[in-house]
A and B are shown apart, each in its own frame.
Chain A
Amino acid sequence: MNQSATISSAAPASTRAGLLVRYGIWIALALTLLLLPYVFSSRLALSTMSLMGTMIVFALSYNMLLGQTGLLSFGHAVFFGLGGFATVHMLNLVGGNSYPIPLPLFPVVGALGGLFFGVLFGAVATKRAGTAFAMITLGIGELVASSALILRRFFGGEEGITTDRTDMLRVFGYSFGPQIQVYYLIAAWCFLSIVLMYAITRTPFGRICNAVRDNPQRVSFIGYDPSTVRFIAFSLSGLFAGVAGGLSAINFEIVNAAQMGAVESGSVVLMTYIGGVGNFAGPIIGAILVTWLQLILSDATTVWPLYVGLLFIGVVMFAPGGIAGLLSMQQPLLAARTLHRVLPYYFLMFVPGAVAVAGLAMLIETSHQFSIRAAYGPRMTLYSIPFDVTTLTPWAIGAVVFAVGLWLFLRAARLARNAYDAALPQRGNR
């Protein structure tokens, strides 16, 4: 429907402008996905972006539950993983061109796998909401993770199941050997999934999901069964998680049981929450940011999950709307053309904030070297400065830098808060 709308050139100019406004964001998104490999063309960048595209679909599917329907699931990776296994088994079945199915269609298998298990487990989990629902999903996660160790033929045990994506029917000569081709396959599915998941929020069902999130009891007095709403949301969310799992299977040519585990289920909670659950674009931002952080941090330090965890705690405590929430807070200022008055204060926050993080990182890395890495000796290098962790100096410097940075940051934050309130347009009727 997107395309037919933009192509219809018979529309008068005013409508055409209206269509541009309406579909402009989607055209921009499609162009961005198309052009990104020209900007970031290294092999590392391509595989990073492929991973990000996969995680965007995964995090958005999770937000169909958390942000849209108010369901906190601790087992969402189950559907990612099972979608991945479904895809990888189908790839191996079809491999060697025994059936003429081209590779780009295989995420459909992931979708069907995710949907199937979404329906199966959803029928149990969505009878309840709130804490009971969260506990049931936790149980389902454990159940599937432990069955992976028993059903070794299907799940491939520790090492998982491998496949060869290049062994499929070729269309227009694309082998999907090179990463760039896989990137475009993932980008296309990512785009399609984003459009579909956004469209679902704009349907009667999508609106009722929001109503269930806000007040499930009242929903039953306007004709809807809240547990049916939860069930459909859970199933659809499983479907899109399955797409993400299928994309991952194609990208890495391997799926293993760890991808269905509690760590992955936790990771998607972090991504979605850090990005922001209250905004459709939040999980997209979160998936990109957390994937990128995981990559650069895991290169820099072995205790990288600690940093992601600290970021998560920071967001939960100080910005419950996530990054998207912080951004959308600027919208009224942008509309009132007063944003420029606050921006210097944000910059003022950023500098001591970075200093505080550097100080904290110094303390963390020093204690890491001191305790867990003690066998490697007391000498380490941080920020190109070599030092000895058994002396007082690095601890003192780290503590002072952290404390001063934090103190200045909090002061700047207060100034920014006041400036924000002053820049906020006055409302007549409050």
Chain B
Amino acid sequence: MDVDISGARVLFTLPIDLPILGELAVSETIVVSWLVLLILTGLCLWLTHDLKVEKISKRQAVAEMLVELANNFVVGNMGEKFRYFVPFVAALFATGVCSNLISLFGLRSPTADLDTELAWAVIVFILITRQKIKTSGLGGYLLDFTKPIPILAPFNVLSEIATPIGMSFRHFGNILSGVVINTLLYGALALASSKLLGLIPGVVGAVLSQIPILDVGIPAILSFYFDWLSGLLQPLIFSMLTVMFIANAAEE
């Protein structure tokens, strides 16, 4: 019984010669990400076509509710002047949820690859730094590192770098731990059912032991926690932290 836990498979490589990276490898992560983007684009188009002012359809009511939720989330946490962050935070959240839940269809979720989260976190980090420089100027931003005493400057730099690393690892670790534990559980249950049914003598046992009967149902309980709960919670935390960090950067 082999249990295979591996990273995202490389599906094909593009024969482009990049300066440092060499050939461009297109992995499962990228292809599934395209699928996620397609789904989200389709959903947006379907939700927003044919909008009316009066006698709205159920579809429009759902769309309005979602937009209202995103508005309340961002404006409630950041204040009215950051209303232009609503599309960004909503896109981050929607991409996160869709990427996590796509594992329910048997695909490898793009968020089980650190690259995806690290890309998001780097974008957020750039936004935070931009906001800090905007509020206190470049000199003020650099001076902030020497507070409260100049000798702590290296630690301040470290804590600044720890922000994107912490944000991306939190999301990545939660999703990947789900993938690893689910794979181990499927392998263990398949082994257990083949050994149990192999106890039946004769041809019947030999045939039945090929079918991993115990794999039906039992993993669904764990999948509820790992796919649904952390799949919905982690994007929420990611966007919550984004909102909080940017709002904090604007306060100083």
Q: Do A and B come from one complex?
A: no
- B-side residues, CB < 8 A to A, are none
